[in-house]
């Protein structure tokens, strides 16, 4: 069992204590199975969605006002909510964290982070103005040219990798989708 995972103790359907074992249905992974009602509980990664908001040759970064990594710089991103698409989640996070008005563009990075059970998806987003109204999770929202990025103050490796791919693609004049792993 991965270190980040909190084991399921009770069935979400009937409340009985569950047992971890490999199901009899041909599955090969250990699952939380309810001995009372037979429900098999599957545990899946969480999706983090965000944007690389850009204005000319600059990108928008947000200085975190929450842990983890308080005071470090990040792209606007957060956990996807139930009932929303990845694009809707990325738009919502950009509004909540930066108060930025954007036009969504294409997917830029898909980053698997198996050690914490997450998948990060970042979209390019064209800023519609230079006016920002950061929410309570953000100390400051600011535009940076590539040479101004505070690389040593970037909060997360997934953000660093996304920024590196964004600027590489921008220099090349063609954006692609980058599928990465952070181990």
pLDDT tens figures, 24-59: 988 999 999 999 999 999 999 999 999 999 999 999
Residue 4 pLDDT exceeds 90: no
Q: Note the pLDDT of residue 2.
A: 55
Q: What is the pLDDT of residues 50-89, one digit of tens each?
A: 999 999 999 999 999 999 999 999 999 999 999 999 999 9
- Give the pairing type, strands 178-181 and 138-145: unpaired
Measure the CA–CA gap between 162 and 170, rounded to whole angstroms: 12
Q: What digits encode the pLDDT tens for the residues 160-178?
A: 999 999 999 999 999 999 9
If phi over 0 gives left and psi between -120 and 50 gives alpha, with beta otherwise, what is residue 90? alpha
- Which positions ≥6 away from 22 have C-beta within 8 Å? 28, 29, 30, 31
User: Predicted confidence band at 3 (pLDDT cuts at 50, 70, 90)?
Assistant: low
76 CB-side CA count, 13 A:
37
The mean pLDDT value of the chain amounts to 96
Q: Is the pLDDT of residue 181 over 90?
A: yes
Task: Walk me through the domains of the chain, giving residue ranges and CATH numbers.
Answer: 1-43 (2.20.70.10), 46-181 (3.90.79.10)
């Amino acid at each position: 069992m991965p270190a980040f995972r909190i084991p399921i103790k009770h069935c979400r359907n009937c409340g009985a204590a569950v047992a971890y074992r490999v199901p009899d249905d041909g599955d090969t992974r250990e699952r939380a199975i309810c001995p009372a009602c037979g429900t098999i509980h599957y545990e899946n990664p969480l999706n983090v969605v965000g944007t690389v908001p850009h204005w000319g040759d600059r990108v928008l970064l947000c200085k975190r006002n929450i842990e983890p990594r308080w005071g470090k710089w990040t792209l606007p991103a957060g956990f996807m909510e139930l009932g929303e698409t990845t694009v809707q989640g990325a738009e919502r996070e950009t509004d909540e964290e930066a108060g930025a008005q954007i036009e969504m563009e294409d997917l830029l990075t898909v980053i698997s982070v198996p050690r914490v059970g997450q998948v990060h998806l970042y979209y390019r987003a064209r800023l519609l103005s230079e006016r920002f109204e950061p929410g309570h999770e953000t100390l400051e929202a600011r535009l940076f040219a590539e040479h101004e990025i505070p690389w040593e103050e970037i909060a997360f490796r997934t953000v660093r990798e996304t920024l590196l791919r964004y600027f590489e693609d921008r220099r090349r004049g063609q954006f692609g989708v980058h599928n990465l792993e952070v181990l």
